Structure formats: C-alpha cells, structure tokens
Amino acid sequence: MKILMISAEVVPFAKTGGLADAVSALSIALEKAGHDVKIIMPRYYKIDRKKLTKLDGPLGIPFNYNETWSAVYTTTLPGSNSLPVYFIDHEQSFGREGVYGNPLEPDFHDNVSRFSILCNSAFQLCHKLNWYPEIIHSHDWSASLANVLLKFNQRWKPEFAHTASILTIHNLGYQGNYDKINYPKTGLDWINYHTSGFEDYGRMNFLKAGLISSDILTTVSPTYAEEIQTFEGGFGLDGILRYRNKRLFGILNGVDTEYWNPEKDKRIKQNYTVKSINKKMINKKFLQEKMGLEVNENIPVIGIITRLVAQKGIAELFAPTYGSAYNICASMNVQMVVLGSGETWCEDEIRNLQAKLPNFRAYIGYDEDLSHQIEAGSDFFLMPSKYEPCGLNQMYSLLYGTLPIVRRTGGLADTVQQYCEKTGEGTGFLFDNLTPQSIYDTVGWAVYAWYNKREHIEQMKIRGMKKDFTWDKSAKEYKDVYKFALKNICY
Ligand code: ADP
Ligand code: GLC
C-alpha cells in the first residue's frame, strides 16, 4: 500500500514528545511489512540542510488564496531501508527555534500559516514526485488539515479520488484553536467553515475539523479510545467522537526495540537481559553515583521522566505543600530521580525539593542519555498521569525490569497489570484517584513489597521484560484499518 505520513515531529529530526517516536517507528514497521511509505514534515531551523539532499526546483504551495514557494529537502529515515522523509523548507515559517512555539512565544502567532503550509504542501509534493498515496495518514491537530483538504479540495482530482484519510489522535488536549480571521490561510473556502467542522465557538479548531472530515480516526490505546468519548475525557469533542465511533479505533503504540532494549542499549552503563538481570544493579549504582545519591543497592530508586505539564500529574506530585513527592522522600527509605522540563513553577519547585531532600535528585532539561540510564538504573518508575493516550515510558520501564507505578488511565491501564499480593501476579502498581494521597499510598505499597516481598518483585520484573511491545503487532492493526478506510471513504 502507498502511505503518506504527515507529522510536525519525527524522530530523530524533531521531537517534543512521544508523537515523534510513534510516527517514525510506525513508518519503519509498515515499510518492513512491505508498504511504500513516505513521510512529510517541516524543515525546522535545527535540521541541518547539509545532511539532506535538495530536490530540484521549488514547490508552489497554495496559501491564503494565493501561492507561496518553498524548497524541499529529503533524506532516508534512519533505521529504515529506504524510507524517504521530505522536509518542507519554508524559511519564514519553520526557520526558527521550536516546533509549535518556544519559551518566549509558547504558541507561535503564525501557527495557522505554518501548519497550513505543511498540509497544503503534501498534495503539491505528490504531484512533484508523481507518486499518489492510497492512504494519507495525519497525526494530531498540526497535520489534520491535510485530511480536510483532501475531502474538500482534492478528491475531485483523479489522482486523489480514491485516497482515504486517517487521523491519529495522540493527544486530544492539544487542538489548534485560533482566531477565525486566519481561516483563509488554510486554503479552504468559507463555504466549508461550518460544514468542514472548523468552527468551534466562534474560533477555528484544527483537530475538530480533522475529526469530522477524516475517513477513519484512530488513537493510541483502546482505553483512550473509550475515554475520549466521555464528557470527562473528551475535551469538548466527545460528542463528535461518539457520533463517529464506528470509525474510531484504539491501536496501542509499540516500542522501538532497537533503541529501547537493555540488551543492546549503548547509552546505559551495563547491558543485561532476563537471564542476566542481576547486572541491572550496575546501572543502579551508576545512576546513584551520577545523580549524587548515596550508592546503596538496598534503597529502592524511583525514576520519573516527563514533560512537566498538568497532564502528567505534576501538581499532585510537586505542588508546594500539596504534592506527594516531598512526603514520599521525607518519610520513606527511597531515592527519587526526576528528569523533565516544562512549566516554570514546577521546575522551580523541583529545585527546591532538591535543596531540601538528600534523597531527591533532578535534572531539569532534556537529556536522551539520562533518560535511558534512569530506565535501566531505577527499581520503580512513577507516572501518575491525569490522562495518558498511550505513554511510552511505562513500556520502556517494563522492558528494562523497572516496575511501573501508574494511574489507571488510557494506555497505562492497557499496558500495566495490577500486582496481586497473594499470588505475586502482575507487572506493576496501579491506582485510580489522582490525589497526592493515592500517589503516596501506592508508592508506599510498592516500597513495602520491595522490602518485604522481594520474590514477587523479582518475578514481576521478569514478567515485564518478556512483554511484546513490538511495532509489528501495531502495524498489522493499522494495515487492517487502512483496508477498512479504503472501502469506506466518506465522499
Ligand atoms: P508525551 O508524548 O505525552 O510526552 P510519552 O510517554 O508518549 O509522553 O513520550 C514521552 C517521550 O519523551 C519518551 O520517549 C520520554 O523518554 C521522552 N522524554 C520526555 N521528557 C524527557 C526529557 N526531559 N529528557 C529526555 N527524554 C524525555
Ligand atoms: C502523546 C501522548 C502520549 C503518547 C504519545 C505517542 O504525546 O501524550 O501518551 O504516548 O502521544 O502516541
């Protein structure tokens, strides 16, 4: 099948979260399964042109009922056989620091233009390459306009008449809401403003338009597919999702097991497998030393790696006088290691905790090496998310023999099985209510098991390490969804 992936983020070129990992790994798995996949994304300032090949001639892109011009660069996606990534090199839109924004301007004022240019360029690029996809697969709000354009502006052309569109929701919390004055930049006619579903309480909403106009919707775990159809989880779009639920599928993300694999991981101190799990201890000692903690194998280490945003339960963990991290570290014989960046108040509070608590250490910033070292060196991994469409770190944790302590939501509920004290069954520790007390209690429960039921803990680690989270499984499910989409195009 010919598949065009459209995304604002793709690993290793640009990443703000798991979306980038997912698009890249899914594309590779689909290529491996024999599909003809191409990816299109912006060439941000940080992506070095010198490492790319320039396509001949400029690309004319419809914009604001006019046209704008861009160069296109390409390279092969690392880890694939020959999967091309095409970079839209529109200097005015993408030649700056940041994907959606930067610390000075968290949501760029011209995001409507930027992502309209990305989405419109997809069709022009197909003409340029003389290659027409059967499937356009867009990811999140920033690419969802492509599916709307396909429906209203492109399907009447023979080249796209039989192309089906898929929109994958990686996070319903980010929708792309902007003033409707920007609408003409999308390239759609005002006549589509209502029927295309762009209108949302007087403003334009990219994700909403995509949810209404795409042939098929997917999201990244079965439980999240249910949750987004409820008032509590729907971010105002649950009505549309319920209305379209025959076309909504939850497919669990996989893990790139070439990159996240304790047997081969080049970023960790000591490789290990199920058979040599005792060597994990070397990583623990390395982590304790690196972070300035007491090097002591008898104290359990709890790791946290996260964007510091409300979605991840940071208030319940770190809010001054309210959050549970302080009480956990002050009253339990544990160590806590945090890697993250995000909201300023939270970064500040983490620095405060570090100054107060000898068993709490953090690195504020983004650090790929440290993220692998925390996965390999921790005993537990804490993820108290408010909501979690899929979540990657709990899966990495399982594969690294690090037991997840998670809130039962979205992909966390689908990937972690509750510990049973009687039988020792399970792969981690789950709780339901997102309160500092529940986090405290569940961590306490896990720590109790670590000190008193060590045989259970060891069995659980091995059970986790044996889990199959390969992308091949998910790629098969996407293939079935693509087939369904081709038979069910909404003309
Ligand atoms: P989300 O996409 O909502 O942030 P995921 O769990 O799907 O959550 O993916 C997060 C990804 O980003 C993981 O690969 C995680 O290791 C990585 N990550 C998050 N924060 C950092 C950080 N500060 N340093 C290194 N990696 C990070
Ligand atoms: C989003 C979600 C996360 C998911 C990732 C990849 O960023 O917040 O849960 O794992 O996308 O699909």
pLDDT tens, 414-472?
999 999 999 999 999 999 999 999 999 999 999 999 999 999 999 999 999 999 999 99
Q: Which atom of ligand 1 is nearest to the CA of 22?
A: 7
CB distance 254 to ligand 2 below 6 Å: no
What average pLDDT does range 170-182 have in this prediction?
A: 97
Measured in whole angstroms, the distance separating CA 204 from the mean position of its chain's CA atoms is 24
The number of the ligand nearest the C-alpha atom of 250 reads: 2
Tell me what pLDDT residue 194 has: 85
Mean pLDDT of 40-65: 96
pLDDT at 426: 98
What backbone torsions phi and psi does residue 233 show, to the nearest 5 degrees? -105, 0
Ligand with the closest atom to the CA of 306 = 1
pLDDT digits (tens, 9 = 90+) for 188-235: 999 888 877 899 999 999 999 999 999 999 999 999 999 999 999 999
The average confidence (pLDDT) of the chain is 97
Q: Which amino acid is present at 134? A: E
Query: How many A from CA of 156 to the centre of ligand 2?
Result: 34
User: What was the pLDDT predicted at 250?
Assistant: 98
* Residue 450 alpha carbon to ligand 1 centre in Å: 26
pLDDT digits (tens, 9 = 90+) for 272-294: 999 999 999 999 999 999 999 99
Q: Check if 390 has its Cβ closer than 6 Å to any atom of ligand 2.
A: yes
- Rounded distance, CA 342 to CA 349, Å? 12
What is the predicted pLDDT for the residue at 28?
96
For the stretch 87-127, pLDDT in tens is 999 999 999 999 999 988 999 999 999 999 999 999 999 99
Point out the ligand 1 atom lying closest to the alpha carbon of residue 253.
Answer: 7
Our measurement of the distance from residue 36's CA atom to the centroid of its chain's CA atoms, rounded to an integer in Å, reads 23
Task: Compute the average pLDDT of residues 38-54.
Answer: 97
pTM over 0.85: yes
pLDDT tens digits, residue range 341-363?
999 999 999 999 999 999 999 99
Cα-to-centroid distance, 392 and ligand 2 (Å)? 7
User: Could you give the domains of the chain?
Assistant: 2-254+471-487 (3.40.50.2000), 274-465 (3.40.50.2000)
Residue 65, pLDDT score: 87
For residue 411, which atom of ligand 2 is closest to its CA? 9
Q: Is 167 helix (H, G, I), strand (E, B) or coil?
A: strand
Q: How far is the CA of 154 from the centre of ligand 2 (A)?
A: 30
Q: Could you tell me the distance, in angstroms and rounded to a whole number, from the CA of residue 94 to the centre of ligand 1?
A: 23
**Nearest 5 degrees, angle CA 339-CA 342-CA 347?**
70
Q: How far apart are CA 149 and CA 119, in angstroms?
A: 8
pLDDT digits (tens, 9 = 90+) for 265-275: 999 999 999 99
Kind and range of the H or E element at 124? helix 111-129
Alpha carbon nearest to ligand 2 atom 1, residue? 170
pLDDT, mean of residues 310-320: 97
337, containing H or E segment:
strand 335-342
Average pLDDT of the residues in 161-183: 97
Q: Which residues pair with 342 in a beta bridge?
A: 308
Which residues lie below 8 Å from residue 66, measured CB to CB, with a gap of 6+? none
For residue 307, the ligand 1 atom closest to its alpha carbon is: 20
SS3 132: coil
Helix (H) / strand (E) containing 335: strand 335-342
- Pick the atom of ligand 2 nearest to 173's CA: 8
pLDDT category of residue 142 using cuts at 50, 70 and 90: very high
32/373 Cα distance (integer angstroms): 29
Per-residue pLDDT at 217: 98
**pLDDT at residue 380, rounded to an integer:** 98
pLDDT at 154: 96
Contact assessment for residue 2 and residue 34, using Cβ atoms and an 8 Å cutoff: no
CA–CA gap between residue 76 and residue 48 (Å, rounded):
14
Pick the more confident residue, 256 or 163: 163
